[in-house]
Amino acid sequence: MNTYTLNINGQDRVFEAAAETPLLWILRDTLGLTGTKYGCGVGLCGTCTVHLNGSPVRSCVLPVSAVGTGRVTTIEGLGQNDQLTPLQEAWIEHDVPQCGYCQSGQLMTASALLANNPRPTEGQIRAAMDGNLCRCATYPRIREAIRAAAAK
Residues that bind ligand FES (CB under 6 A): 38-41, 43-48, 58, 60, 97-103, 134-136, 138
Residue 140 Cβ vs ligand FES, minimum distance, rounded to whole Å: 12
Residue 134 Cβ vs ligand FES, minimum distance, rounded to whole Å: 3
Residue 43 Cβ vs ligand FES, minimum distance, rounded to whole Å: 5
CA angle (93 as vertex; 87, 98 as ends), nearest 5: 95
Q: Which residue, 50 or 114, has its beta carbon nearer to ligand FES? A: 50
Q: Which residue, 107 or 134, has its beta carbon nearer to ligand FES? A: 134
Query: In this structure, are residues 44 and 69 in contact, taking their beta carbons and an 8 Å threshold?
Result: no
Residue 45 Cβ vs ligand FES, minimum distance, rounded to whole Å: 3
Q: Which residue, 45 or 150, has its beta carbon nearer to ligand FES? A: 45
Q: Which residue, 95 or 122, has its beta carbon nearer to ligand FES? A: 95
Residue 131 Cβ vs ligand FES, minimum distance, rounded to whole Å: 8
Query: Could you give the angle at which helices 103-116 and 86-93 cross, rounded to 10 degrees?
Result: 130
Give the length of the chain.
152
Sign of CA dihedral 12, 13, 16, 18: negative
> What's the CA gap between 152 and 141, in Å, rounded?
17
Q: Which residue, 18 or 44, has its beta carbon nearer to ligand FES? A: 44
Q: What are the beta bridge partners of residue 11?
A: 8
DSSP β-ladder status, 2-8 and 71-73: parallel
